[in-house]
């Protein structure tokens, strides 16, 4: 049994399966007699001494998710310096694709919601791609997926996450505190000095990162952005040494983020109660705009930008990949889930009984589910089977 669990945990689809299980468990609890227990646990305790929200949900979304963003920061730095984004030629195609995949969903959302100003804060919700889910669906197709197509999707998703982080920093902050921002600047300077002195212990960078997180939390900018900044400030290599603090920390963090933090986030945020919602509400502008942005906006934006970039010779297709396969992978990018839910909480708040947030989550869940199923079916149709048959004959 232990060997089976170990093999399953190392499978690429395991992270996506865990997210699905956690989300389904939350949906079941939120629409059953266990709803009161579910809500009571998430919103306990109700408020701090000064009315601040210090409940379990805030701890997960503002605290634990900072580690997820730290992992993103580490991955982005590694890809930029040593990986799929290390050169302009490598980075151009997925970067252009990601840009189209962010612009088109936002435009489509705003077109659907043009007559509902109260919903406009959610324009960025359908711009995100969930790496774990997308890679999990790809893993279901096994060796039929070309390595270059998988690398393209991973690079696109990483750039997409970076774009979402920039959007959060620019558009989802409030009541900025200059003193706290100054404190954050001091911590960034300290981490840069640690880099200059070739300090290698990851724990020291984490300690400085916690202080940075505290300053950013008080600044009015969302605290999880401190994770990305800290990840970018941890050295990937040291002069004359094979040891990499960033790689060590990335490898240590990855299982905790994938198998605990993200499923916990899904469980805490996917519990959408349908009680009291009218059928007309489920088809209202907010969820319709989000679902349309994910299902249609994402693949259409990616494909238009990809096609134009190739025709205008701004970028070229990855080796061994045709445009039809890019189009199929673009459908998978409509799986928003983790980052989309995160942005929805910033746009509409996370309080209990928040109807706008509930409707936004319905749009995210339905759009992501349809994109996952459609992406799998389209990829299964366009990917070659000859490689699998040859291996089977051998």
User: 212-238, pLDDT tens digit by residue?
Assistant: 999 988 888 877 788 889 999 999 888
- Tens of pLDDT along 144-201? 888 888 888 888 988 888 888 889 888 887 777 889 999 999 999 999 999 888 888 8
What span, in angstroms and rounded, lies between the C-alpha atoms of 182 and 77? 24
Supply the pLDDT for residue 46: 62
Mean pLDDT of 38-50: 71
Q: Are 75 and 158 in contact (CB under 8 A)?
A: yes
pLDDT value at residue 220:
81
pLDDT band for 5, please (50, 70, 90 cuts). Answer: very low
pLDDT for 388 equals: 43
Q: What is the mean pLDDT of the chain?
A: 85
Task: Give the contacts of 154 (CB within 8 A, at least 6 positions apart).
Answer: 84, 131, 135
Percent of the chain predicted with pLDDT > 70: 91
DSSP letters along 52-100, please?
---SHHHIIIIIIHHHHHHHHHHHHHHHHHTSTTSSHHHHHHHHHHHHH
pLDDT at 212: 93
From 262-266, 301-305, 316-320, 388-392, the region with the lowest mean pLDDT: 388-392
CA distance 202 to 245: 5
- Decide if pLDDT at 275 tops 90: no
Query: Which of 265-274, 282-291, 365-374 comes out lowest in average pLDDT?
Result: 265-274
Contact 169, 191 (CB under 8 A): no
Report pTM. 0.83
Work out the average pLDDT over 341-367: 87
> What is the pLDDT, as a whole number, of residue 137?
83
- Calpha distance 199→193 (Å, rounded): 9
Of 16-20, 101-105, 125-129, 226-230, least confident by mean pLDDT is 16-20
Which 3 state secondary structure label does DSSP give 241? strand
**Between the CA of residue 390 and those of 193, 255, 319, 385, 393, what are the distances in Å?**
55, 34, 21, 9, 5
Residue 282: pLDDT band by 50, 70, 90 thresholds?
confident
- Does 10 score more than 70 pLDDT? no
Q: Residue 392: is its pLDDT beyond 80? A: no
């Amino acid at each position: 049994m232990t060997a089976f669990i170990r093999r399953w945990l190392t499978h690429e689809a395991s992270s996506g399966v865990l997210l699905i299980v956690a989300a389904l468990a939350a949906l079941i609890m939120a629409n059953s007699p266990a709803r009161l227990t579910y809500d009571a646990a998430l919103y306990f305790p109700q408020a701090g001494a000064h009315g601040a929200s210090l409940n379990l949900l805030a701890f997960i979304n503002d605290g634990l998710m900072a580690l997820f963003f730290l992992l993103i920061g580490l991955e982005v730095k590694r890809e930029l310096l040593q990986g799929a984004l290390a050169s302009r030629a490598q980075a151009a195609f997925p970067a252009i694709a990601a840009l189209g995949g962010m612009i088109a969903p936002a435009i489509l959302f705003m077109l659907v919601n043009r007559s509902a100003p109260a919903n406009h804060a959610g324009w960025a919700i359908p711009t995100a791609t969930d790496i774990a889910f997308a890679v999990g669906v790809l893993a279901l197709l096994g060796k039929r997926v070309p390595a270059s197509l998988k690398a393209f999707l991973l690079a696109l998703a990483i750039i997409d996450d970076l774009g979402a982080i920039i959007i959060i920093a620019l558009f989802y902050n409030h009541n900025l505190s200059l003193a706290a921002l100054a404190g954050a600047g001091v911590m960034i300077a300290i981490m840069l000095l640690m880099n200059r002195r070739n300090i290698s212990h990851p724990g020291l960078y984490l300690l400085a990162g916690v202080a940075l997180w505290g300053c950013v939390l008080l600044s009015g900018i969302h605290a999880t952005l401190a994770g990305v900044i800290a990840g970018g400030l941890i050295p990937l290599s040291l002069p004359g040494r094979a040891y990499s603090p960033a790689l060590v920390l990335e490898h240590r963090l990855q299982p905790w983020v994938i198998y605990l933090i993200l499923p916990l986030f899904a469980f805490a945020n996917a519990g959408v109660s349908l009680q009291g919602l009218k059928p007309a509400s489920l088809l209202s502008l907010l969820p319709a705009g989000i679902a349309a942005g994910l299902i249609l906006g994402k693949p259409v934006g990616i494909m238009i930008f990809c096609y134009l970039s190739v025709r205008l010779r701004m970028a070229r297709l990855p080796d061994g990949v045709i445009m039809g396969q890019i189009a199929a992978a673009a459908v998978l990018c409509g799986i928003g889930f983790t980052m989309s839910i995160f942005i929805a909480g910033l746009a509409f708040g996370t309080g209990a009984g928040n109807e706008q947030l509930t409707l936004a989550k319905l749009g995210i869940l339905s759009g992501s589910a349809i994109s996952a199923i459609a992406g799998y079916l389209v990829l299964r149709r366009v990917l070659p089977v000859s490689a699998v048959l040859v291996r089977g004959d051998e």
